Chains A and B, each alone.
Chain A
Amino acid sequence: MPEQTFPAPERRSGIVSHYKTGIHGAATDQPSVTLQERRPLAVFHLAIRDGADGVVKKAGKAFGLDLPTTASTSVSMGGRTALAIAPNTWLLTNNNVAHEADSGAQADELAAAVGDGGAVNDVSQGRCVLRVDGPNSRDVLGKLSPLDVHPSAFGADACATTQMAHVAVTYRRVGDGNAFDLFVSRGFSQHFWEALTHAAGEYGYQVLDAGL
């Protein structure tokens, strides 16, 4: 086999060509919405056979977090987050995985822990994760999400999947503050980014450097 060397491959976000850091939108003294693409972030899709409680425990141990078992809730600790997105189904994210090789290794660890009791898929590059924060974050979401995001209806760490701007979005309230993390399919990420920045426009928004 020929010896070949290649420049280090570059990871490209689906919205990189439209992601402009800085202050945008209506002229305001202080932008009341901040937007940030959360990356690099490892994202795993985990499905476990119905009733396999032992597997749920094992998967949690391998991931480093007890998995929530109540639908539409999430738990977060030490940069690891687990969202219960459907019966026996979780979306797991990990801030501590800088390279996809590491993310692959963690997917393998999880898969080993789950064994035949479920299925693990590394979907880190198939999801675009966007954080919406600031005093007007709920107003921005209110334009896009038909679900109620008022704290009385969408408490700390609540999560849900719904349609926003005509595409499916899973989102999670980060703790009990104004911040929400939105998970959208990569193919729709530019469309959604445009819809999100449009929705934030009237409040004035700041796009932060992509990061964690």
Chain B
Amino acid sequence: MSTQSHRTATGGLVDRTKPINFTFDSQSYQGFQGDSLASALLANGVRLFGRSFKYHRPRGLVSAGSEEPNALMQVGIGAYTEPNLRAPQVELYDGLVAESQNRWPSLSFDVGEINNKMSRLFPAGFYYKTFMWPAKMWMTYEHVIRNAAGLGRSPMEDDPDTYEHHHAHTDVLVVGGGAAGLSAALAAGRSGARVMLVTESPEWGGRLKDGATIDGEPGLQWVQAAIAELSGMDNVTLKVRTMVGCYYDHNMLVMLEKSGDHLTKRDHYTPRQRLWQVRAKRVVIAAGAIERPLVFGNNDKPGVMLMSAVRTYAKRFGAKAGSNAIVFANNDTAYQSALDLKDDGIAIQAIVDPRADGGALTQAAIEAGIEVLTGHVIINAKGGKTVTGAEIMALNADASGVTGEIRIIKGDLICVSGGWTPSVHLHSQAKGKTIFDDALTTFVPGATMQAHVSVGACNGTFVLSAALAEGAKAGAEAASKAGHSGKAGSVPSAEDGPSVTPFPVWDVPLPPHVHLKRFVDLQNDVTADDVALAHRENYLSVEHLKRYTTLGMGTDQGRTSNINGLAIMAQLRGVAIPDVGHTTFRPPFQAISLGAITGPSVGDHFEPIRRTGLHDWHVKNGGKFTTAGLWHRADYYPQAGENKLTASLREAKAVRASVGICDVSSLGKIDVQGPDAAEFINRLYVNGFAKLPVGKARYGVMLREDGHVMDDGTVTRLAENRYVVTTTTANAGPVMTHMEYHSQVVWPELDVHVVSVTEEWSAIAIAGPNSRKLLQKVVTDLDISNEGFAFMAYASCTIAGVIGRMFRISFSGELAFEVAIPADKAVSVWEALMIAGQEYNCIPYGAEALGIMRIEKGHVVGGELNGRTTATDLGFEKMISSKKEFIGRFMLGREGLVAADRMQLVGLKPIDGTSEVPRGAQLVANPQALCPVDMEGEVTSNCISPHVGPIGLGILRQGRDRHGEKIFAHSPVTNQTVEVEICHPHFIDPEGDRVRA
């Protein structure tokens, strides 16, 4: 275990009494409670954090936030592992296992570093140029390139964690827990508005944690008081570790709360992450700003860090990024940090400032004993796997070149500050405009499109007192606009900090004949030369520059590189920066894991499962299920040694031999009532219903408006003005919608009400020659003899002691009945039927056997009702009424729908009597013909019938006139070809004697 050699003597917000053990690249380290992975590694003297994407150059930590381009880590092991986590954002926990990425065999010795030596072979866009030919090899090239330039790996195991989804509604959402955000939340909260305040950090305060003075006290005291006050308000919700990632239309925002990532162990009830969908009346964005690096030779060496990050690590975490620092800064903020860092054991060797006269704090720095080199720049960072010093030269008068001798100053840390970039991401996602601020040399929020406002540093307001005031004003206004106008309270005073206004040196000039890599985008290994190359190759648009060079891509999305990159582009083009523009900010601000997006909708909850009232019985009795839409239907009930095929054959046989019962609850049932119910029904179906008497059911076919068949089912007249309509399982929803649409929109004059009663009634089919005998044992108050209860009769009656509905309808082609039972008592009735049926060897049969029997009988379902068939195609032409209006009537007569060569329903039998008719096969005259082959038809249903052997249904061109002909059923999917005979689609009892028995 290594010691924490780079801890400051005292200070920081870490708890030094609580050591935490972790490993990095298999080596054990110790940090403290409150550390980030980055700060703990820094405190242990670690400098090398990773290898760069393309050139595999050694890289160290740059930042202390989400802008980190280099220190990307694979964290966690096994199923818990996650790649590309930014080390500054990973909270340290006991037992944390981190690995560096993109190196082999090890971080300090990486074979891929050869790419750096050969970098002249890999200019921007090299793979577009190099791997153009032969085109078909791209798939191979791409695989190799991706391997060489990978960033971490995804776990292959199922995710063991849980994730939650939340919806939240608030008057004011305040994004950011720094000075401006807290100030806004206080004002809005005091006004009485519902407020949600979120920060992506584990603690509140933003940069106030790095030292500041408010109302004459340390800034953190004010933070604590503010949080205490906000916590006491019922109308305020506080969320830490919560990143607002997406700002969508209508002020809908998505945020990710990392509720469990920082824990060593998470139980089932501690979600790893929560995805919040927030609807906010107003949004106050206080997202802060990110410091810009400077572009100079070898500026990617481990030890070149943002000045603000060095400060954060020292002040917030008590971790020293180095011992002897050279500061390279073009603005005053870095001076302040340099002065403040003296107490933390980081010696400042020099401040290198390109401004000829320095700035407001130059004198203070000199007085503090720091050497200040105004009018100078660092042209090169010296060192290998860590910085050892800097090469410094004087800038010439117009900053276009460097002059004089190179001076070398030794040090193990170069702190850079090139100015500050407001985080306008959310503002821009919300379609807010940006405007270029000449003083800040960057983009700041302009006009907004949605109900939001930016405050503090993200609005270009860097002075603390101004940020506090701006936050308070925005918070009060947001509350007021949301309808709350309580007293917003006072605004604290603060010492104004140093000026952030930079003197831009976008691309530090080099002496003649000196070539050094000057990185613009560290994560994507894009150098100033790459930008120049893109310019030479005529990439003018910033969007093209991004795609060509990859500048601004990756996990950091160019947070530290975009402004520098487009400023260099602007220089090369000789235009102003705003004329180059910036790329589009798209959600999310940071990556959101797929687990969080999926939330709890996994496993059995991937989609809802719809269960019938008999579901538990099927489970208990060994039923296997199939899906029909969301329904789970009993498919077959295997006995010992049976599979799906043998079980369903046995079931179908048993039904035709004696009797079986089947759960048909999933069929749609729609109650239609009203004085105009009869007329309504009549208009829905192609066949006439006006004369259907009460107590009778009739089969009906309905069309879409375009004349194709929509669905079929039965309509039963329960009373003069009341019907119940059944639909196929698949079409229950669409038919209901169809009916509601027509009753509400097309025929509002019809007085009719349609209500889905599918869920109220369980339905059981009792089929087979002994079905009546069985039912007669359990039906006590209805004569169900053929005379008393003819085919298609309906009556209400008592079945096994339960009041239900009895229909004499048949789907199997056998003598059959269907009973509808209020769902709670379906199991009782089903069990009574099974007991009563014992003497007839009654069996339960599933959807598979039901399917076999309906194919034997030539009944059409989904395969035939495929949206392309007409009533005539399916043999229903005699049902079509010519005496009434109905939906689809006019389109039915279209030329194409009455063409002589339409495909019509046929039966299919294999010539050899034994081969299965291939599922989904195409019907062709010559299966050996060269493509394109004339497809005369297709197989829509197939099965092996226990009664007539393998059979199928199909639709075939002019099929009805071709019974007796032979044709080939060829499946290009399974490469099966079977010669079949075209026949009548009714294989069993074509006269229909059985159903009327």
Chain B residue with minimal CB distance to A48?
B753
Interface size class of A (residues with CB under 8 A): 35 or more
The reply to whether B776 and A1 contact each other, CB–CB distance below 8 Å, is yes
Interface window among B148-156, B292-300, B440-448, B603-611: B603-611
- A30 adjacent to chain B (CB < 8 Å): no
- A61 adjacent to chain B (CB < 8 Å): no
The reply to whether B166 and A143 contact each other, CB–CB distance below 8 Å, is yes
- A201 adjacent to chain B (CB < 8 Å): yes
The reply to whether A26 and B269 contact each other, CB–CB distance below 8 Å, is yes
The reply to whether B169 and A148 contact each other, CB–CB distance below 8 Å, is yes
Are A195 and B605 also in contact (CB < 8 A) when A121-B760, A186-B613, A202-B270 are?
A: yes
- CB-CB under 8 A from B779, the residues of chain A are 1
The reply to whether A100 and B608 contact each other, CB–CB distance below 8 Å, is no
22 residue pairs of the A-B complex, CB under 8 angstroms, read A1-B781, A2-B780, A6-B800, A10-B827, A12-B826, A26-B270, A47-B753, A47-B755, A100-B803, A116-B674, A119-B671, A124-B760, A126-B759, A142-B168, A143-B164, A146-B167, A185-B759, A187-B612, A190-B615, A191-B605, A195-B600, A202-B270
Chain B proximity of A71: nearest CB distance (Å)? 16
Q: Which of A104, A150, A194 contacts B604 (CB 8 A)?
A: A194
Chain A residue with minimal CB distance to B759?
A126
Interface window among B106-114, B492-500, B817-825: B817-825
Are A146 and B277 also in contact (CB < 8 A) when A47-B753, A191-B608 are?
A: yes
- A77 adjacent to chain B (CB < 8 Å): no
- CB-CB under 8 A from A116, the residues of chain B are 674-675, 721, 751
Chain B residue with minimal CB distance to A101?
B803
- B165 adjacent to chain A (CB < 8 Å): yes
- A127 adjacent to chain B (CB < 8 Å): yes
The reply to whether B608 and A167 contact each other, CB–CB distance below 8 Å, is yes
Residues in A138-157 with C-beta less than 8 Å from chain B = 142-143, 145-148, 150, 152-153
**Could you give, for residues 788-818 of chain B, a 1 whenever the CB lies within 8 Å of some chain A CB and a 0 otherwise?**
0000000000001111000000000000000
Chain B residue with minimal CB distance to A141?
B167
- A123 adjacent to chain B (CB < 8 Å): yes
User: Bound state CA distance, A147 and B168, in angstroms?
Assistant: 8
Residues in B814-872 with C-beta less than 8 Å from chain A = 822-829, 832
Residues in B663-721 with C-beta less than 8 Å from chain A = 671, 673-675, 721
- A211 adjacent to chain B (CB < 8 Å): no
- CB-CB under 8 A from B783, the residues of chain A are 1
- CB-CB under 8 A from B269, the residues of chain A are 25-26, 201-202
**Could you give, for residues 1-29 of chain A, a 1 whenever the CB lies within 8 Å of some chain B CB and a 0 otherwise?**
11110111111111011000000011000
Q: Which of A45, A142, A190 contacts B166 (CB 8 A)?
A: A142
User: Bound state CA distance, A88 and B267, in angstroms?
Assistant: 48
- CB-CB under 8 A from A13, the residues of chain B are 824
Q: Which of A119, A153, A189 contacts B169 (CB 8 A)?
A: A153
State how many residues of chain B have any CB contact under 8 Å with chain A: 62
- B960 adjacent to chain A (CB < 8 Å): no
**Could you give, for residues 93-118 of chain A, a 1 whenever the CB lies within 8 Å of some chain B CB and a 0 otherwise?**
00000001100100000000000101
Chain A proximity of B779: nearest CB distance (Å)? 8
Residues in A155-212 with C-beta less than 8 Å from chain B = 165-167, 185-192, 194-195, 198-199, 201-202
The reply to whether B823 and A104 contact each other, CB–CB distance below 8 Å, is no
- B601 adjacent to chain A (CB < 8 Å): yes
Chain A proximity of B192: nearest CB distance (Å)? 10
- CB-CB under 8 A from A3, the residues of chain B are 780
The reply to whether A118 and B167 contact each other, CB–CB distance below 8 Å, is no
The reply to whether B164 and A187 contact each other, CB–CB distance below 8 Å, is no
The reply to whether B604 and A9 contact each other, CB–CB distance below 8 Å, is no
User: Bound state CA distance, A101 and B759, in angstroms?
Assistant: 18
Chain B proximity of A132: nearest CB distance (Å)? 15
User: Bound state CA distance, A130 and B610, in angstroms?
Assistant: 17
The reply to whether B270 and A118 contact each other, CB–CB distance below 8 Å, is no
- B585 adjacent to chain A (CB < 8 Å): no
User: Bound state CA distance, A4 and B631, in angstroms?
Assistant: 34
Chain A proximity of B737: nearest CB distance (Å)? 13
- CB-CB under 8 A from B194, the residues of chain A are 150, 152
User: Bound state CA distance, A94 and B77, in angstroms?
Assistant: 55
User: Bound state CA distance, A100 and B277, in angstroms?
Assistant: 42
The reply to whether A191 and B753 contact each other, CB–CB distance below 8 Å, is no
- A122 adjacent to chain B (CB < 8 Å): yes
The reply to whether A9 and B671 contact each other, CB–CB distance below 8 Å, is no
User: Bound state CA distance, A16 and B615, in angstroms?
Assistant: 11
Q: Which of A4, A10, A143 contacts B828 (CB 8 A)?
A: A10
User: Bound state CA distance, A3 and B607, in angstroms?
Assistant: 47
User: Bound state CA distance, A122 and B823, in angstroms?
Assistant: 12
- CB-CB under 8 A from B907, the residues of chain A are none
Chain B residue with minimal CB distance to A186?
B759
The reply to whether B757 and A126 contact each other, CB–CB distance below 8 Å, is yes
- B451 adjacent to chain A (CB < 8 Å): no
User: Bound state CA distance, A75 and B609, in angstroms?
Assistant: 33
User: Bound state CA distance, A120 and B801, in angstroms?
Assistant: 24
- CB-CB under 8 A from B780, the residues of chain A are 1-4
- A125 adjacent to chain B (CB < 8 Å): yes
- CB-CB under 8 A from A118, the residues of chain B are 673, 753
- CB-CB under 8 A from A10, the residues of chain B are 825, 827-828
- CB-CB under 8 A from A38, the residues of chain B are none
- A49 adjacent to chain B (CB < 8 Å): yes
- B778 adjacent to chain A (CB < 8 Å): yes
Are A187 and B611 also in contact (CB < 8 A) when A1-B780, A122-B760, A142-B168 are?
A: yes
The reply to whether A9 and B674 contact each other, CB–CB distance below 8 Å, is no
Q: List 19 additional A-B contacts (Cβ < 8 Å) besides A12-B825, A124-B760.
A: A2-B780, A14-B823, A26-B270, A100-B825, A116-B674, A118-B673, A119-B753, A121-B760, A126-B758, A165-B608, A166-B608, A188-B609, A188-B610, A191-B609, A191-B610, A192-B608, A194-B605, A198-B600, A201-B269
User: Bound state CA distance, A152 and B484, in angstroms?
Assistant: 12
Chain A residue with minimal CB distance to B779?
A1
Residues in B567-614 with C-beta less than 8 Å from chain A = 600-601, 604-605, 607-613
**Could you give, for residues 254-297 of chain B, a 1 whenever the CB lies within 8 Å of some chain A CB and a 0 otherwise?**
00000000000001111100000101000000000000000000
Chain B residue with minimal CB distance to A100?
B822
The reply to whether B279 and A148 contact each other, CB–CB distance below 8 Å, is yes
- CB-CB under 8 A from A1, the residues of chain B are 776, 779-781, 783
- B777 adjacent to chain A (CB < 8 Å): yes
Chain A residue with minimal CB distance to B614?
A12
The reply to whether B611 and A190 contact each other, CB–CB distance below 8 Å, is yes
- CB-CB under 8 A from B671, the residues of chain A are 119, 121
